[in-house]
Amino acid sequence: MATRFALIIEPTASDDSRSDFSATFKQVDASAPALSVGELSTQRGDGIFESIGVVDSHPQEVAAHLERFVRSAEICDLPVPNVAQWRQAIDAAAALCGPGEWVVKTILSRGVEHGPTPTAWVTAADAADFSRPRREGIAVVTLDRGFDLNAPARAPWLLLGAKTLSYAVNMASLREAHKRGADDAIFVSSDGFVLEAPTASVILRIGDVFVTPEPTGGILHGTTQLSAFAWFEGQGYTTAYRDVRVSELATADAAWLVSSVRLAAPVRRIDEVEVSLDHELTDALNAYLLSPRD
């Protein structure tokens, strides 16, 4: 994945109702320096972001991403993003993307130290080729996330439900998974419940029901999981949000990690337990996730 395009955005107030925000975007050379050294996103990871899948220049599920972006800003006490402005910025970045799969990122940072305003930008990068994990599946290990299910309510300053730029823990977890011979990880709570993957949501098939952990503050509510659930329901299946015990991973009939760019990666092993792959269902789900979705 290489960032090809970048637009710096002058963020406006959430109630700015002009119809055309293009004067607030400035395209910059994506390979040249563009941020101040006093930028708090780089110094502290203090900011929020979204990664939006783009297929043939069509940005996917923009409304759901912007809803989560606004929620993340609220949790982090950042100025509430102007949804119309960000939607136009996403469209402008997506229009720069060529055919095939790309990723557009929206980033809103606390700003420059001592500066009055946040810094904002969008980038467009071509996506890695994920055809292999989508087809052959991935091996995952469970990793302790170090908090219990009640931690988000007890300690909201941990920002657990926000998609913040502080992804060092998520990246460290992926490195740990690789060291253990796996492709990815599933975080589990200290009191024995399934949470999410470092960059994806977890969906299990248990009998005829597709289950995902309830997003009650400790995990992100995945836009891909929302789309997948709508698709499962359209196919006549039942879906459920509920607390999922770690012990249920070993007996699930199938499992997927789902996210905006890799889409649905079927899980073929969880720790030492082999999980069967449903190629037909996975291919149909990914075909849906690759079709234009608003």
Residues that bind ligand PLP (CB under 6 A): 51, 196, 198-201, 220, 222-225, 258-260
- In contact, 177 and 141? CB cutoff 8 Å: yes
Q: How far is the CB of 140 from ligand PLP (least distance, A)?
A: 14
- Report helix angle 62-75 to 223-234, nearest 10: 140
Give me the torsion for CA of 92, 97, 100, 101, rounded to 10°.
Answer: -70
Q: Distance (Å, rounded) from C-alpha 128 to C-alpha 3?
A: 11
Buried-exposed string 68-93: b where 16+ CB fall within 10 A, e elsewhere: bbbbbbebbebbebbebbbbbbbbbb
Nearer to ligand PLP by C-beta: 78 or 112?
A: 78
Nearer to ligand PLP by C-beta: 55 or 220?
A: 220
Nearer to ligand PLP by C-beta: 103 or 270?
A: 103
Q: Distance (Å, rounded) from C-alpha 288 to C-alpha 94?
A: 20
Q: Cα–Cα distances in Å, from 230 out to 93, 188, 227, 258, 259?
A: 27, 25, 5, 14, 15
Nearer to ligand PLP by C-beta: 13 or 155?
A: 155
Q: How far is the CB of 19 from ligand PLP (least distance, A)?
A: 28
Q: How far is the CB of 123 from ligand PLP (least distance, A)?
A: 15
Neighbours of 37 (CB within 10 A): 9
Q: How far is the CB of 29 from ligand PLP (least distance, A)?
A: 26
Neighbours of 98 (CB within 10 A): 11
Q: How far is the CB of 232 from ligand PLP (least distance, A)?
A: 15
Nearer to ligand PLP by C-beta: 112 or 188?
A: 188
Nearer to ligand PLP by C-beta: 223 or 282?
A: 223
| Cα Rg of the chain (Å, integer) | 19
Nearer to ligand PLP by C-beta: 46 or 50?
A: 50
Nearer to ligand PLP by C-beta: 52 or 112?
A: 52
- In contact, 103 and 51? CB cutoff 8 Å: yes
Neighbours of 133 (CB within 10 A): 20
Neighbours of 179 (CB within 10 A): 9
- In contact, 81 and 66? CB cutoff 8 Å: yes
